[in-house]
Amino acid sequence: MEIFKIKLSNSQENDKYLDFKVIAITVGYVERTFGKLYFSEEVLNKYSQNLKGKPVLIDHIPEVSKIIGVVTNSYYDKDTKGIIAELRISKIGNEKIINLLQLEPRPITDVSIGALIAKEKMQENVYQVNEIEFKEISIVFEGADKNAKIILKEDKMEKEIENLSKENAKLLKELENVKLELEVSRKELENFKQLAQIGKTYKEHLEKEAIRLVKLVEGDTSPLLALLEKADINTLKDIVEQYNIKAKKEYMPSSKKIDDNEPLTSEKLLKMNLKELMELKKQLHFKN
């Protein structure tokens, strides 16, 4: 048995039948010999599932020999504003119609419903449909509802392209958000680098000041000097503060050089500190 490959939207097939979708009827006006029929969204939505289980015919010919399939499902679609019917066509005995469906360009595109309706007159030659009793759906050369079509592959592609466009727009927005986050992170990194540089400069300054003060108070051989290079900022600050106080105490303004012209009295000797006495000793040694 030959397996036909039909390029219909959402189509499925096996060795026995082919499944595909059609737009059975849409909201709007349909021209009839007695006037225009108006199918509202409310009415189509209400009766949409009643098409399920009805036969699929060729050209509305009400004969068993003209039945080629069945409606397996039907529902109202808000985007299409019409009833979508899922058709199943038997491959056995319908090779010709299936071959016509697979031709490109497609010679068969239209479908049409067969139904009993209850209507009321709205105005001259215009009637509102209030009730629908579906009898069948047919594949026809040209249907009364110009929107009632077999759903082609291109329709699906357009929908997929639209969905991809929406997805791409979403991805682009997310990408812009990522770019903004990266820009913020870059600026924060630059700020961190600047702060780090400031911190490094400040540490170097503290280290130099600590070395100067330690040498001033304890001399070049102080064991503390070897530890200053590894000390953190807080430790260096404490050392600078402590040794600054020690240096001020040791080198107070009162510890000035003894004036040779001033008479040396016992009162002056008693007021001198140790550093001043050592300085006096050196001066007396040089005089002798």
82-107 residue pLDDT tens? 999 999 998 888 888 888 887 878 88
Same domain, yes or no: 110 and 219: no
Same domain, yes or no: 20 and 139: yes
Which pLDDT does position 100 carry in this prediction?
85
From 21, 4, 58, select the one nearest 152 (Cα to Cα): 21
Same domain, yes or no: 113 and 30: yes
Same domain, yes or no: 227 and 140: no
Residue 190 lies inside a defined structural domain of this protein: no
Structure tokens at 231: 């000390």
Spatial separation of the C-alpha atoms in residues 163 and 104, rounded to whole Å: 26
Same domain, yes or no: 100 and 231: no
Which pLDDT does position 4 carry in this prediction?
36
Same domain, yes or no: 45 and 134: yes
User: Could you report the per-residue pLDDT of 241-275, keeping only the tens digit for each?
Assistant: 888 887 777 766 544 444 555 565 556 656 666 66
Which pLDDT does position 220 carry in this prediction?
84
Spatial separation of the C-alpha atoms in residues 100 and 85, rounded to whole Å: 20
Residue 82 lies inside a defined structural domain of this protein: yes
List phi, psi (to 5°) of 106. Answer: -80, 120
Tell me the whole-structure pTM to 2 decimals: 0.50
Residue 68 lies inside a defined structural domain of this protein: yes
Chain centroid to Cα 32, Å, comes to 51
Sign of torsion, CA 70 72 77 79?
Answer: negative
pLDDT along the chain (288 residues), means of 10: 40 74 92 88 94 94 92 93 93 87 84 91 86 94 91 58 72 78 76 71 82 82 82 84 79 52 58 65 56
Give the domain CATH number at 104: 3.20.16.10
Same domain, yes or no: 16 and 145: yes
Which pLDDT does position 77 carry in this prediction?
93
Residue 206 lies inside a defined structural domain of this protein: no
- The boundaries of the domain holding residue 25 are 12-151
* Number of domains observed in the structure of the chain: 2
Instruction: Say which residues have a Cβ less than 8 Å from residue 24's Cβ, sequence separation at least 6.
Output: 51, 74, 82, 83, 84, 85, 111, 113, 137, 148
Residue 164 lies inside a defined structural domain of this protein: no
Same domain, yes or no: 242 and 144: no
